[in-house]
Structure 1
């Protein structure tokens, strides 16, 4: 039972794969996002390849839990995903996910598992954090 998690950004969208049975996630990569929207072809490929039973999109909130301008973009992306894929979708509070993603990326770099030039992959690591957050408490 797989889920795909997304860390929405106006330029890049991080993507991670999560497994409900193991409760673990791993980064898949990033897709570009811009004036013409996200790279739907690549997203569609991941959906076909991994056949998730649900999709997750991180919802950026302020520290006090209020919505912010970036929340609208994430909600619009989530709505487009549902329309395109027809799968259940869950919005996941992503407060502090970027801090945890930066910490994990630094650890992976120190261990020789990531390189500085792969810094764009931090968005995929953020998607991993978002996915793990949901897997820990899918309610």
Structure 2
């Protein structure tokens, strides 16, 4: 059975979303949510979940380069817990250190969705042979 999987790059101002599936094991950017309030954010996410029917959600978990946690680590975990609670889907956290750093920063590009694709691809690369 082929499953759709969503990846999230959580941010306070924007949330990047990527999608992929367990047939090709390839992630691709989907969209960026720019809403600042949780109600709107989760409404958009809910609409995407209803449209695509993902079986699993992957959330990037940021750390300092030395592995230490920081404020966004805790916020990302909270976001992952909220996704699980609201949509009753399995949610996994993936270390996202350097996910944004490997993307060329060009003016006008949607970097957050590309970072979400890198996070999701890291998950796929770790699970493709399972």
1:63 corresponding residue in structure 2 = 65
Give the root-mean-square deviation of aligned CA atoms: 1.6
Consecutive aligned runs of 4 or more in structure 1 exceeding 3 Å deviation: none
TM-score (norm 1): 0.84
Give the Å deviation of 1:44.
0.7
2:121 corresponding residue in structure 1 = 132
TM-score (norm 2): 0.89
Aligned mates of 1:131, 1:72 — CA distance in 2? 19
Unaligned runs of 5+ residues in structure 2 are none
1:99 corresponding residue in structure 2 = 101
SS of 1:137's equivalent?
A: helix
Aligned mates of 2:31, 2:117 — CA distance in 1? 10
2:26 corresponding residue in structure 1 = 24
Q: Flag the structure with higher helix content.
A: 1
Unaligned runs of 5+ residues in structure 1 are 107-115
Residues 30 and 123, structure 1, Cα contact 8 Å, conserved in 2: yes
1:7 corresponding residue in structure 2 = 9
Equivalence map 1:43-82=2 (5 Å): 43-82=45-84
**Per-residue CA shift, 1:17-56, capped at 9, x if unaligned?**
011221101111101243x325111111111111111000
